[in-house]
Amino acid sequence: MKTPSIYSLTFVTLAVILLCPSTTFADKHNDFLKCLKHEFHNYSSISNLVYTQTNSSFTTILQSSIKNLRFSTPTTPKPQVIITPDHESQIPPLIYCAKQSGLEIRTRSGGHDYEGLSYVSQVPFVIIDLINLSEITVDVENKTAWVGGGATLGSLYYRIAEKSPVLGFPSGLCSSVGVGGHISGGGYGQLLRKYGLAGDNVIDARIVNANGRILDRESMGEDLFWAIRGGGAASFGVVVAWKVQLVDVPETVTIFRKRWTLEQNATQILHRWQYVAPVVDRDLFIGVTANRVNTTVVASFFSLFLGGADRLISLMQEQFPELGLAREDCVETRWIQAAVSFAGYPVNTPPEVLLNRSQVATVEYHKMKSNYVQTPVPESGFEGVWRYLYEAEPVGKGYIILIPYGGKMAEISESATPFPHRAGNLYSFSHYISWGEGENSDSESYISWSRSLYDYLTPYVSSSPRSSYLNYRDLDLGVNNVVGETSYAQASVWGKKYFKDNFDRLVKVKTMVDPRNFFRNEQSIIPNKSKRNGRLFHVDK
């Protein structure tokens, strides 16, 4: 049975909007601005950080980091106000005024948001855009860094390399992703088999909670600190900065990209990859993408190896000779230049390109879904996937993305952070379809393609629950009621897929720190209603 989209679940919301006078939104908007002027005694000092719909820069600011055009249409609900604070002390009054005026808050750090939950809502809302909170301070001696919640992964990589060529951080491949959302969902990258996730390497944070208090790890307590490192921080507050543990990388790393077509036995090579990539030396990451190119499907094996090419070739000849890797396929470089290459640039491009927030990431219409594979997929299973990739063209561009696990990922407990997809998972299997603006008149057909492939994969991926990755948000999995209460049973439909048994602990933390459910969206953690009127243990001191 096809899962309804969020828009088919908002009849109650739309009815409320249609039945209430249009002045309701305007009143809330005006009340919010009046409150800001009262709370900020020197309002002129922040007035240039507040953008209303009548401001000439409003649309530019709103669209500045939106990467999914599905949520940038004339009919997409817009915020009443956008605020771009440049200091954490400005955020508590924003929370207070949003409460006072009946507006909800959406927090945005980057905009790589597959369902637009950081900048779209079906109820009146304001956006706190953290773009100005992007300072990064690297401490080489202690191998740590404080990273502003609005920084990008690329800027973090650049600032680390600026200080040391032998330090790095295990996070995403796409450099224009915002640090805040990436870490709060777990955050995987090409170092995950060696060092785990971005969220696994966070050692402190600063968060503004629902009461407007600014807390660090000590004052927020270990329960809340656990929750924000993979449970979606937007359910619990506004994380303004993260302190991360940097990791060792060698002076020389090796990268390669090896492509095989179906006619060159790509299916057989990919089938073999499943038995090698999750168990090979943890210094070696080999991911795979596949898509249709003209009349065939191309499987592209892309890799980062923490060492030199000679050792890599020896390792590959021993454990994965089917790939046919040769010395000329390999490029020895520095870790920072590998990050440049993974971001989509020629490997020798100056690393300053990573500071460009808008680089490379294509702004288009798209839909993403994710799964986890626990037993190898047979060749016949992949052959069925190829049929879907053929069908995606020419109406859209379909891709599959396979990310190997094992190594450090298999050694970290499922409950160490809210991200539970650890031992027992061979790799993540995600699929993605994109389409251009001229093709948008039939968006539902592309989304239907994505759902159909998801259904096809059912026999080959995890079950009970069928798991998904939080940072690849998918509202097809289920949604919260945007008006009124959501039951535990409703929320657990999607919550168990992202978090498995960790969902129950997240609900407990939510109940402790935000019992009135101020920080909410269509897939936010809900408080336990039965505990609201009872004695609550508060995490913050």
- 167-224: pLDDT as tens digits: 999 999 999 999 999 999 999 999 999 999 999 999 999 999 999 999 999 999 999 9
- Give the pLDDT score at 152: 97
What are the tokens at 399? 């891709």
pLDDT digits (tens, 9 = 90+) for 4-23: 343 333 433 333 333 344 44
pLDDT digits (tens, 9 = 90+) for 268-295: 999 999 999 999 999 999 999 999 999 9
Measured N-to-C along each axis, helices 23-39 and 91-101 cross at an angle, to the nearest 10 degrees, of 140
Distances (CA, A) of 57 to 61, 82, 117, 119: 6, 10, 22, 16
Catalytic annotation on 51? no
Contact 198, 229 (CB under 8 A): no
Give DSSP secondary structure letters for 11-72.
HHHHHHHHHS-THHHHHHHHHHHHHHHHH-TTGGGTGGGEEETTSTTHHHHHHTT--BGGG-
32 pLDDT tier (thresholds 50, 70, 90): very high
Q: Which amino acid is located at 450 in the chain?
A: S
- Give the pLDDT score at 434: 92
Strand segments, DSSP code E, in 71-215 are 81-83, 104-108, 125-129, 136-139, 144-148, 167-168, 202-208, 214-215
Domains in the chain, CATH or no CATH each? 6-132 (3.30.43.10), 136-248 (3.30.465.10), 253-333+362-460 (3.40.462.20)
**Distance of alpha carbon 135 from alpha carbon 149, whole angstroms:** 9
The active-site residue out of 188, 460, 472, 498 is 472
3-state DSSP assignment of residue 235: helix
**Distance of alpha carbon 149 from alpha carbon 142, whole angstroms:** 21
User: Looking at residue 103, what DSSP letter applies?
Assistant: -
What are the tokens at 150? 């609005």
Average pLDDT for residues 384-400, to the nearest whole number?
Answer: 87
**Distance of alpha carbon 378 from alpha carbon 274, whole angstroms:** 10
Q: How far is CA 501 from the centre of its chain?
A: 20
Pairing of strands 81-83, 125-129: parallel
Give the residue, 261 or 444, on which the prediction is more confident.
261
**Distance of alpha carbon 102 from alpha carbon 28, whole angstroms:** 6
Which of 110, 132, 129, 90 is CA-nearest to residue 180?
110
Measured N-to-C along each axis, helices 502-513 and 488-499 cross at an angle, to the nearest 10 degrees, of 120
**Distance of alpha carbon 505 from alpha carbon 499, whole angstroms:** 10
359 pLDDT tier (thresholds 50, 70, 90): low
- Give the pLDDT score at 26: 79
Which of 93, 112, 126, 101 is CA-nearest to residue 212?
93
